[in-house]
Amino acid sequence: MVLLAMTGRTEGWIAEPYGSDVSRIIQFAEIDWEQWISILLFNQAKRQQRTSSPLYSLFRALYHLMAVSTGYRMLSQWVSVNPGGDTLDKLVIEGGRPLSGSIRIHGAKNAALPIMAASLLADGEITLHNVPHLLDIEVMLYILERLGCTCRHEQGTVTINTSLVRSHDVPEDLMKQMRSSIFLMGPLLARFGRVSVYQPGGCAIGERKIDLHLRGLEALGAQIEEQDQQIICHGANLTGADIHLDFPSVGATENIMMAAVLAEGTTTIFNAAREPEIQDLQHFLNAMGARIMGAGTDTITINGVEKLQPCTYEIIPDRIVAGTVMIAAAATRGNVTLTHCNPAHLTSLIHVLKRTGVQITVCNDIMTVSCMTRPKSVDRIVTSPYPSFPTDLQSQIMVLLSLADGFSVMKETVFEGRFKHVDELNVMGADISVDLNAAFIRGVPRLYGATVEATDLRAGAALVIAGLAAQGKTIVEQVHHIDRGYDQIEKLFQSLGASVERQSTVSKQLDFAN
Ligand code: UD1
């Protein structure tokens, strides 16, 4: 670490030696000596945590004190170093064991991220419960701290103090790392009348434009200037407007809601996205004093208010994590109970799983999924905005269809680049061909273990399911993609009886796509 400090690098990713062969990737920007001390304290805390030492709490408390006073936050992943230093963690899976047992579903990343950004709308301390421990969440906290907030994340509870926000400019390096930093536009513009961000650019799953976000903000009266990759928005006096979205974009709906909440007058968003995460954002904003109606339908009405107050709020369960576990239970012919989930958010998946012959019972926030026989194929599944089949479960359900008896067709209509897992599944013995946005899946009796690579978050989750169901050993590489959306996926499946081990190796650049 000292050597790295001496190199004078001020930005980028580094792998910090830890023990004999383990390393931690941290991102550092403008690190000064106080921040290096906080790195050391963090490192010590982690070391003590591994040996369950009582010193853990001491080092952690000191780290927090130091990190808060210097505005520094660790973006850390525990990974192991290989001598080449150019690959990331791997999961080693011994497949073929039916999953069995009970699992608690963690809070939703896609609800937590916009809600954390929306915290900027109030002046004071916001407390959020059921926030998952994921890399994306840490990145958002890091960005909030760079803007001047003081943040803490402990045991699923996040506190964000927004009283000392001193910057409205989201730095390019952070914007490029996580697309979700686009959520900061609406709240910063609404509260401070100015924001600058950078084009998030395309990513592994598609082009992912932000034109609908920008047009929505312009309709509220913001002036938008684009200089190279930077987007600067001014708008001290936003005014309510009728906004028609060409496509029910989740992010654009959320950004417009957050910008309109402090605008003068009424904003109506037509053709709004209807995802449960949008309802969660409405509930959170209303808990802060906003006056929003209609989230969950395609028309959302926002009556502007003068000011919002800090509040305490609990994030909804993650429907995509729940769906992933349900599909894994079915693909391994297991029997799994999910607790703390919301079955009402999963009706399209439940419908498809029942068509394959999977048994599902629902009781309040508990669901049991079991599958004793070979699943049946489904002639056609089309991904589209909620409440239709979610694009974020497309790759996972394809694993089940690969093992089904018969021929299935999967059409992807939301993202154009979302079939990257197909080649990897074929390496494992699946029989899938792709033509434009349709995948044609001929079910095979079994998959076989292989070394495969996660190309994005959900594709990675699909490969883990494939490995759990396959005969033999599967190695899933590039696990950092999966860590963005699943809190220690290996522990999750271990608790259901699977044989999954993380082999830590190292790292380079992380890509935060969705
Ligand atoms: C969110 C989710 C992501 C999910 C997706 C669709 C988060 C953090 N991510 O992403 O997990 O897969 O919804 O359910 O909540 N589009 C435009 N112009 C825009 C905005 C979007 O053309 O201004 C297009 C995109 O390129 C894409 C489609 O609309 O093809 C859907 O995107 P959108 O609903 O905005 O997804 P995200 O909010 O990025």
* 5 vs 102: which has the higher pLDDT: 102
Measured by CA distance, the residue closest to atom 1 of ligand 1 is: 250
Q: Could you tell me the distance, in angstroms and rounded to a whole number, from the CA of residue 36 to the centre of ligand 1?
A: 37
Q: What integer pLDDT is reported at residue 69 of this predicted model?
A: 64
Q: What integer pLDDT is reported at residue 58 of this predicted model?
A: 81
Tokens at 108, concatenated: 């939703």
Selection from 291, 309, 315, 318 nearest residue 126 by Cα = 309
Q: What integer pLDDT is reported at residue 64 of this predicted model?
A: 67
For a ligand 1 pocket test, name from 116, 250, 345, 458 the mutation site with the most ligand atoms within 8 angstroms of its C-beta.
250
User: Which residue type does 104 have?
Assistant: R
Q: How far apart are CA 502 and CA 493, in angstroms?
A: 12
3-state class of 514 per DSSP? Answer: coil
How far does the chain reach from its first CA to its final CA, in angstroms?
A: 31
3-state class of 141 per DSSP? Answer: helix
What is the band of 164 on the pLDDT scale with cuts at 50, 70, 90?
very high
How confident is the prediction for the chain on average, in pLDDT? 87
- For ligand 1, what atom is nearest to the CA of residue 414? 30
pLDDT in tens, 241-291: 999 999 999 999 999 999 999 999 999 999 999 999 999 999 999 999 999
Measured by CA distance, the residue closest to atom 35 of ligand 1 is: 249
The total of other beta-carbon atoms located within 10 Å of residue 227's CB is 8
Question: Strand 150-154 vs strand 157-161: parallel, antiparallel, or unpaired?
Answer: antiparallel
- This prediction has a pTM of 0.86
Q: How far apart are CA 119 and CA 159, in angstroms?
A: 10
Q: Is 246 in the pocket of ligand 1 (CB under 6 A)?
A: no
Rg (CA), the chain: 23
Q: Is 254 in the pocket of ligand 1 (CB under 6 A)?
A: no
Which DSSP state fits 148?
T
Residue 7, pLDDT above cutoff 60: no
Q: What residues contact residue 11 under an 8 Å CB cut-off, 6+ apart?
A: 28, 29, 30, 173
Q: Helices in 233-311 by DSSP H: which ranges?
A: 250-260, 276-287
pLDDT in tens, 147-162: 999 999 888 999 999 9
3-state class of 271 per DSSP? Answer: coil
Buried b (16+ CB within 10 A) or exposed e, 353-369: beebebebeeeeeebbb
Measured by CA distance, the residue closest to atom 26 of ligand 1 is: 208
Q: What integer pLDDT is reported at residue 50 of this predicted model?
A: 54
Q: Is 110 in the pocket of ligand 1 (CB under 6 A)?
A: yes
Residue 407, pLDDT above cutoff 50: yes
Beta strand residue intervals within 304-446, DSSP E:
312-314, 335-339, 359-363, 366-370, 381-383, 407-412, 431-435, 438-442
**Contact (CB, 8 A) for 76 and 25:** yes
Q: Is 461 in the pocket of ligand 1 (CB under 6 A)?
A: no
What is the band of 73 on the pLDDT scale with cuts at 50, 70, 90?
low
Q: What does the pLDDT average to over 469-479?
A: 96
Burial of 205 per CB tally in 10 Å (0-12, 13-18, 19+): buried
For a ligand 1 pocket test, name from 109, 212, 247 the mutation site with the most ligand atoms within 8 angstroms of its C-beta.
247
Selection from 157, 250, 174 nearest residue 212 by Cα = 250
* 131 vs 153: which has the higher pLDDT: 131
For a ligand 1 pocket test, name from 245, 414, 416 the mutation site with the most ligand atoms within 8 angstroms of its C-beta.
414
Residue 29, pLDDT above cutoff 50: no
363 is catalytic: no
Q: How far apart are CA 107 and CA 121, in angstroms?
A: 22
